[in-house]
Structure 1
């Protein structure tokens, strides 16, 4: 999932089609790779020690980010039982972090243009870890939610900034693999955080689950700081808020980009709703799974890695809108399969939901980088902001629907999001046909 993600190779669905530093409308100074000799490219080459250190450092940063971002998702049934919360109330411990990240990602990524990538990433990861170390000692929903929101703000300093750092410091020939390893850290962190917290909580309680995630993230943060090479190509420049605002509003006013932002929000609404509520359903009748076993269901998250890798091939074969229709259909079919009270069908449905979500997300986020003719970093930031708003919306609304109508209510919320996504995609299809007819 941030940055904000985005160099679009088959294995890096969420990276911008071109490095985040390709367009810098918010700076008054130009930041381009240079060398003291004027002839030697100072960026890290394939196989070099600097590249290996960079890859490992940012793998650790990605791992820490998503360990922390979703650390409470597998704990929601425990939180509800111990703090006497409804699913909707408990879900805010997940949604608050996503909202904090969504709100802060654009301004913090802009600050990295002034104060440096490494400095911002270091402050971000250690601030998020410091908050994580406090979380196990909280005793009420209000404090826990507020701290999680602050943690999301801190985590906003990592995704987009990491993408920019890689684009500046890594030679283009090594960039796809470097981006791929960073996103792998994101994916593994997202799965591991849910697994670790859920399994530990099943044995020792939710506070121990949060503590385990905090300590794991601390180790990743230390590894990042020790390994990250000194930036050699960054050139600071003053931020121009007016230019940034002009770029952001211009992207929002672009009809195609607006549709892509909406698709990111809608796909993530489904993902947030399903994965937030799933634990409640699995520990309740008729399944009655133990907490640790219910948490292991997050291994299905790895399906996203396969779907992400396949998304480029699907898009090449079906076209962007065809791939989106396929993703919507797959996700919707998976949602329907989870309705019967059958664990095998629920697992199969979850596989389809995860595959459809990652395919849709990859196709939409890739199109953002290709569609934006300027300010690609800001376009990607807006996509990710919408994406995380969708996560918050899906988690909160899906949990409330579950509290009121059971799993059928959650599925209804998710299917409504997919129906809207189909409408947005159909709108794009009609607009494209009209534009083609006008051109003729």
Structure 2
């Protein structure tokens, strides 16, 4: 056995590997260094993931010019990543139940950073799409697992706050990825925009590695088809989880539909905005960065049942304001809509983690699969309503989704809340 002073040195040397948690089996408590470092690490992990995912959105017209492709083909730079992300979560979630949470998330972030660095070096459009597809697939290893890690390691009374901080990192990452690439291409090329974002993600990943404590409450569940199917049956039989999966589909679908088509409206008279100004609409996500954390803290105090459904009412209020012809009302509506959406997503995410006592990785993956499926399906269907009725048609479509989400939220508020199975 090593002398005690050598043990101390070894513990200090391993702190960069995430061993900041006290060497006990206590859950992470608010006010401790481990709680702070964990939230900082997962905030950075979410930031890196979503900045890498959405960095290409302002670059799509440049891809069309440089590769001689249509706008529809150019949009594949984003859609191929979200598709592989959604599909990958069906595998990485259950896989993390067998291999562990932190190892899976680290492999995901380092791999996504590598593929993102390789993307601007690809000489062909097909090569760039391949790197984007691999990056989205890699990111599924963090996006599907982070919520499970929090659900296992956090003190239940602080889970809402921790989940809110993670979601706020997601929203800030998605916003900054769009903004940074827009600024970089003003002075350089889209290749440098992708490379700089990948390097920043690599720095965030290094800090994530150093700060995130290793799991203390993870219990491996051997991966097999039988276990995967057994976990699926378990989650679908739960009184609340299938409704939360439906909420993920409806909330994300409505959110993407709004921001996909509000730009078309503002490009037209009497607004006549430029595409650069349209990109700045992502600043509305800042209200979501605040609301995700605030809603989590409120849920810890009053319960998710009392906080979740009002977040959807706020989205409906914001949606209604966008019907105004006044620009200030439209922008206020976008702020309120983002506020309500990120609050609702934060609450639903933590709710999944608290209800799923077994195969948490799979439960989180199912929630997020529904989330990104809603993005793909509703984001496309809303285009039909735009063609039929322009902005009023899109608002009608989104309103139907939100009313369905509100009815489900009210049903969820009547369910007895299970006690944490620690």
Please give the TM-score of this superposition, normalised by the length of structure 1: 0.72
Deviation at 1:258, TM superposition (A): 2.1
From 243, 252, 266, the counterpart of 2:250 = 266
**Pairing of 1:190-269 with structure 2 (within 5 A):** 190-204=174-188, 206-228=190-212, 236=220, 238-254=222-238, 256-269=240-253
CA–CA distance in 1 between the matches of 2:326 and 2:123? 36
SS in 2 for 1:246: helix
CA contact (8 A) 2:148 2:360 kept: no
Specify the alignment match of 2:70 in structure 1: 85
Deviation at 1:219, TM superposition (A): 2.2
CA contact (8 A) 1:131 1:151 kept: yes
**1:76-95 deviation digits (Å, cap 9, x = unpaired):** 45556765534x65544333
**Pairing of 1:419-438 with structure 2 (within 5 A):** 419-422=403-406, 424=408, 428=411
From 370, 379, 383, the counterpart of 2:367 = 383
**1:257-291 deviation digits (Å, cap 9, x = unpaired):** 32221121011001112233444554555434444
CA–CA distance in 2 between the matches of 1:371 and 1:297? 35
Where do 5+ consecutive residues of structure 1 fail to align? 1-32, 434-440
CA-based RMSD of the aligned residues comes to 4.1
**Pairing of 1:357-372 with structure 2 (within 5 A):** 357-372=341-356
CA contact (8 A) 2:165 2:292 kept: no
From 371, 374, 377, the counterpart of 1:393 = 377
**Pairing of 1:320-339 with structure 2 (within 5 A):** 320=305, 323-324=308-309, 326-339=310-323
Q: Which moved more, 1:404-413 or 1:196-205?
A: 404-413
Specify the alignment match of 2:87 in structure 1: 103
SS in 1 for 2:252: helix
Greater relative contact order, per chain length (Cα 8 Å cut-off, separation 6+): 1
Specify the alignment match of 1:298 in structure 2: 282
**1:319-374 deviation digits (Å, cap 9, x = unpaired):** 838852x4444323323432445432221120122123234334434443454465
2:53 counterpart of 1:66: no
Q: How many residues align?
A: 393
CA–CA distance in 1 between the matches of 2:196 and 2:152? 34
**In 2 relative to 1, CA 418–396 (structure 1 residues): closer, same or farther, beyond 3 Å?**
same
Specify the alignment match of 2:11 in structure 1: none
**Pairing of 1:20-35 with structure 2 (within 5 A):** none
CA–CA distance in 2 between the matches of 1:232 and 1:369? 16
CA contact (8 A) 1:62 1:159 kept: yes
**Pairing of 1:279-298 with structure 2 (within 5 A):** 279-283=263-267, 285-298=269-282
**1:357-410 deviation digits (Å, cap 9, x = unpaired):** 234334434443454465444333322221121122233334565577654454
From 107, 115, 119, the counterpart of 1:123 = 107
CA contact (8 A) 2:321 2:333 kept: yes
**In 2 relative to 1, CA 404–143 (structure 1 residues): closer, same or farther, beyond 3 Å?**
farther
Where do 5+ consecutive residues of structure 2 fail to align? 1-20, 416-422
